[in-house]
Structures are given as structure tokens and as C-alpha cells.
Chains A and B, each alone.
Chain A
Amino acid sequence: MTKYKINRDNTPKKPSKADMEKYKDFSRLNANYDKFVKRPKLPLYKDKRFFLALLIIGLIAYLISETL
């Protein structure tokens, strides 16, 4: 595929101000920012599922070391 295409009509396809405004949403940006930046409410080590997974991994590692 070629990188350049010549628009021979010379009609600029600039979106209108109103069209561009439709996509502007600072509250959504703010919400996304919070989602990315804020720490989870529960620390990872206090998460029951994470703790259980960690325990299983430890157990498997112990069993492997015992069998070798």
C-alpha cells in the first residue's frame, strides 16, 4: 500500500469544530486517570484469592524441592 495519496479535488476534509467537540470528554479522561493511577482499595497481600494462590505456589515449590 502506498503511503501517500493525492486528493485531486483539493477539497479539504477538515472536521468541523462541533464534530471534534463531540469527542471531548474531560470527565471520562478523569475517570480513566483514576482507574490507572489510584491504588486498589485492598492491598494485594490482604486479598484472599491472591494469598491462596501464593500459598499454592509455595506448596508446589516445596513439593518439587522435596521430590528432587
Chain B
Amino acid sequence: MDKTKQSYQQDLLFIAKAKNDKNQFSLLYNKYWEQIFYFIFKKVHSMDDAGDICQTAMLKAMMNLPKYEDRGFPFSAWLYRIASNEVNLHFRKQKKNGFVEIKETHIINLMGEVEIVNTESINNQEQLLLILETLKPNESDIIEMRFFFKYSFKEIADFYKISEANAKMRLYRIIDKLKIKWSTTND
């Protein structure tokens, strides 16, 4: 059995235990704390905020666990969605927008996909980021996941509860959209 399947089976066991005894939720809490914390930290850029939001997300997961149903997607995908909603709520409460910090190499990779020739040009990089901001939030989220947070197609598919093929199709449609926007702004 591969690691993913093993982890999935382990989660099912932990979930069943936690549904019977809330103290057993610690098994899931300990397993996913770091992953979820880092996911939140990448968006809020503050250890204290990430700690608070992670704790709230875990609390919501614990409270909603009795309603959780296994639909063949990893438990972590469910946690990521709760955490993502909590991050959005955090920014709404603070009345400010978060920002995504990205590595130069990541934007260069994206530029390659969009078929931009001069990837080293800072102007081109900044221009692509401005175009990225014109996308719908659900579109820019997929780009962020794939190119900036380095998620696999499997992870993106699990997050959106779609098939891997569908995740790939969505991403490449958005890249096509970026290509069109890039060529119209540079004509």
C-alpha cells in the first residue's frame, strides 16, 4: 500500500475514533497541526495570527466532525478548506487584504507557462502579477496553489473535490486566459 493510501486509511480510523470520543481528535490534531499552520502562515505572515487561526480552524473541524462524511477525498483537504475560510474571515474582520509572498523562481516558472520570453525582466514579472490580480479569485487561487505553493494536481483536485484531470483542465484554461490578457496588454 502506498503512503497516500496508508495515510487515508489511518485518517478514517482516527475519524471513527474521534467521532466516538472527542479526546481522540488529538490524533488528527497532532497529525495535521504543522501542515495547516504552515498553510495559514503563508497567507497571514504572522506566527501569532497563524497560531490563533489554526486553533480556530481545528476547533471548527472538531465541532463539525460528527457531520463529516468520507467521500473518497483526503481528510486534509477538508481541513485545508476550513483553514482557507478562516483566513478569509480573518482578513474580512481586519478589513484588510492579505498578500501572497512569492519567490522569483516561481513567477519565472509561471512566465514560462504563459510563454513570456524575457522572464528575467522585473517589469514583465510585475506586469504579469498585475494581470494575475485581474483574474477572478477562484482562478487566481488555482494559479497560487500550483505555481506559488507548489501543490500537486492531486492536492488541488482534493481541495476542490474534483478529479485530477478536471484540475489540470481548469489550470490550463486559466493559463490560456493569462496568455490572451498578456498579448492584449503587450500589443
Spell out A's residues near B (CB within 8 Å).
1-8, 10, 12-15, 17, 19-20, 22-26, 28-30, 32-33, 36-37
CA distance A8 to B63 in the complex (A): 41
Would you call the interface of chain A mostly helix, strand, loop, or mixed? Answer: mixed
Give the residue of A4, A7, A19, A29 whose beta carbon is less than 8 angstroms from that of B129. A4
Among B28-36, B74-82, B151-159, B174-182, which stretch is in contact with chain A? B28-36
Q: Does B22 contact A (CB under 8 A)?
A: yes
B47 interfacial by beta-carbon distance below 8 Å: yes
Q: Are A3 and B59 in contact (CB under 8 A)?
A: no
8 residue pairs bridging A and B, Cβ less than 8 Å apart? A3-B97, A3-B99, A4-B101, A4-B129, A4-B133, A6-B107, A15-B37, A20-B33
> Which of A2, A7, A15, A29 contacts B38 (CB under 8 A)?
A15
B86 CB to nearest A CB, Å: 14
Cβ-defined partner of B29 (8 Å) among A7, A26, A36: A26
- Give the contacting residue for B30; candidates A1, A12, A17, A26; CB below 8 A: A26
Q: How far is the CA of A2 from the CA of B51 in the complex (A)?
A: 25
Contact (Cβ within 8 A) A10 B103? yes
A23 touches B59 (CB 8 A): no
Complex CA–CA separation, A8 to B129 (angstroms): 14
Count the A-B residue pairs with Cβ separation under 8 angstroms: how many?
90
Please give the residue numbers on chain B whose beta carbons come within 8 Å of chain A beta carbons, in ascending order.
22-23, 25-26, 29-30, 33-34, 37-38, 41, 45, 47, 50-51, 54-55, 58-59, 62-63, 96-105, 107, 125-126, 129-130, 132-133, 140
CA of A30 to CA of B133, assembled, Å = 40
Assuming the contacts A1-B99, A23-B54, A33-B59, asked whether A6 and B129 have C-beta atoms less than 8 A apart, the reply is yes
CB contact between B23 and one of A6, A8, A30, A32 (< 8 Å): that residue: A30
A29 to B102, CA, bound (A): 32
